[in-house]
Amino acid sequence: MIHSLFIINSSGDVFLEKHWRSVISRSVCDYYLEAQRANPNDIAPVIATPHHYLISIQRSGVSFVAVCMEEIPPLFVIEFLHRVVDTFQDYFSDCTESIIKENYVVIYELLDEMLDNGFPLATESNILKELIKPPNILRTIANTVTGKTNVSEVLPTGQLSNIPWRRTGVKYTNNEAYFDVIEEVDAIIDKSGSTVFAEIQGYIDCCIKLSGMPDLTLSFMNPRLFDDVSFHPCVRFKRWEAERVLSFIPPDGNFRLISYHISSQSVVAIPIYVRHNLSIKSGEQGRLDLTVGPKQTLGRTVEAVKIEVLMPKCILNCVLTANQGKYNFDPVSKILHWDIGRIDVTKLPNIRGSVSIASGANTAEINPSINVHFTINQLAVSGLKVNRLDMYGEKYKPFKGVKYITKAGRFQIRM
């Protein structure tokens, strides 16, 4: 399985390394760094070297490179690396280089518990927090004075049961179960506004605060929408295959119950449109006009709208006027950022003005692309609906809530 883990910053420096089976020289990371220099925006997740396999992910400007000595399922390692980053974010609220350096001791303690001899052991956040207490100022001072560590001397009760993701003896005054159905739309729209490609990546995040050992059943109005699914280990897979119902004993606290994919073979509704026009008036001058509006949102408000226009290198500057939000143009990266916020349907956001073009540039090759970011609350763009949530094994009645959110994933419009 995983022999070593190297964490590399954006400058290519290895600032943390952890070895489980045998010590591997950090020079093995040179293969990864060469691939990063060759194509920094598209690094192969698996790199084969003469004696090792390097499996990597990039999150928050930091690269996590796992070194393996034999062939293993790469998606298994990639999923584990993402789980490591998610755990760091849960403990420290972020996973940047500076935060990792500030919490070296807790990071090593977590890595020791998450992998045993290179194999995943404890990856549930609620179990880890019983093993290793999250850092705070008072605990740090007390540990400095007493010489103790954040590691608990008692094994979590859940580790000794056949339900290792849930600790025993959980008690809450208010019993609550919240489910967030979040869908990200990936799409490519061509110049005429036609959809070239569209699909949905979705997931259901849960916050479960229930006493005892509840057994939950979650059903959907239209479960046949799911093309490809991956489950938390708590889900009973045979029940899903037979009835398309999620039956599970949940972990305590926050966790991701299911991730799903709705492919381009289904009809994916596009919730936003951008009317664009870039006209070249003379050899060194042009006009840019963009208008953003909602589309197929079922009356829901489109919020947190941001537009990034990736201009070609021949564009020198933009002098624009926006009727809503703020904009800025970076002459180095050639990216126009327009932060709109909420779309008011009575007055659609518009930005227009002049664009300066370098003299002698081939204007026929000026074809910018637009990246769109947005959020729509209380809407699942796929049409997915939760039918009901039933609880067995406990006598109290919990408070239940479901929230739907649609976001932009990789949403690109070609001009």
Three-state secondary structure call for residue 233: coil
Residue 225 lies in a domain: yes
- The full DSSP string for 361-387 is --GGG---EEEEEEEEET--TT---EE
Residue 171 lies in a domain: no
Same domain membership, residue 202 and residue 117: no
Task: State the Cα–Cα distance between residues 166 and 156, nearest whole angstrom.
Answer: 9
CB 185 within 8 A of CB 409: yes
Same domain membership, residue 247 and residue 114: no
Phi and psi, residue 223, nearest 5°: -70, -15
**Average pLDDT for runs of 10 along the chain of length 415:** 92 91 90 89 89 92 92 91 92 90 89 88 80 71 61 61 78 93 93 88 94 93 87 92 93 91 77 87 78 87 92 85 90 90 89 85 76 93 91 92 94 89
Q: Exposed (0-12), middle (13-18) or buried (19+): which is 239, by Cβ within 10 Å? A: middle
Same domain membership, residue 78 and residue 19: yes
Task: State the Cα–Cα distance between residues 294 and 372, nearest whole angstrom.
Answer: 12
Amino acid type, 108? Y
DSSP secondary structure code for residue 132 in this structure: B
Same domain membership, residue 287 and residue 257: no
Same domain membership, residue 219 and residue 204: yes
CB 190 within 8 A of CB 415: no
The pLDDT value given to residue 145: 59
Same domain membership, residue 110 and residue 47: yes
CB 39 within 8 A of CB 47: no
Residue 321 lies in a domain: yes
Report the predicted TM-score, pTM, of the whole model to 2 decimal places: 0.81
Residue 82 lies in a domain: yes
Dihedral sign from CA coordinates of 207, 210, 216, 221: negative
Residue 203 lies in a domain: yes
For 279, left (φ over 0), alpha (ψ -120 to 50), or beta? beta
Cα-to-chain-centroid distance, residue 107? 21
Residue 168 lies in a domain: no
Query: What is the domain-level CATH number for residue 127?
Result: 3.30.450.60
Query: What is the domain-level CATH number for residue 205?
Result: 2.60.40.1170
Task: Find the domain containing 126 and state its range.
Answer: 2-160
Report angle CA 350, 355, 359 to the nearest 5 degrees.
165
Same domain membership, residue 117 and residue 20: yes
**b/e sequence 19-42, b meaning 16+ C-beta within 10 Å:** ebeeebeeebbebbbebbeeeeee
CB 162 within 8 A of CB 233: no
Task: State the Cα–Cα distance between residues 94 and 91, nearest whole angstrom.
Answer: 8
Identify which of 375, 387, 400 has the alpha carbon closest to the alpha carbon of residue 182. Answer: 375
Residue 400 lies in a domain: yes
Same domain membership, residue 225 and residue 312: no
Q: What is the domain count for the chain?
A: 3
Identify which of 201, 205, 166, 229 has the alpha carbon closest to the alpha carbon of residue 86. Answer: 205
Identify which of 176, 156, 177 has the alpha carbon closest to the alpha carbon of residue 167. Answer: 156
Task: State the Cα–Cα distance between residues 79 and 120, nearest whole angstrom.
Answer: 11
Task: State the Cα–Cα distance between residues 202 and 380, nearest whole angstrom.
Answer: 9
CB 305 within 8 A of CB 292: yes
Tokens found for residue 192: 């005429």
Task: State the Cα–Cα distance between residues 174 and 399, nearest whole angstrom.
Answer: 8
Residue after which a domain boundary falls, among 160, 188, 222: 160
Same domain membership, residue 251 and residue 147: no
Phi and psi, residue 47, nearest 5°: -120, 120
Q: What are the respective helix, strand and coil percentages of the chain, to the nearest 5?
A: 20, 45, 35
Same domain membership, residue 40 and residue 119: yes
CB 275 within 8 A of CB 291: yes
The pLDDT value given to residue 42: 84
Same domain membership, residue 145 and residue 24: yes
Same domain membership, residue 320 and residue 210: no
Task: State the Cα–Cα distance between residues 124 and 273, nearest whole angstrom.
Answer: 40
Residue 299 lies in a domain: yes
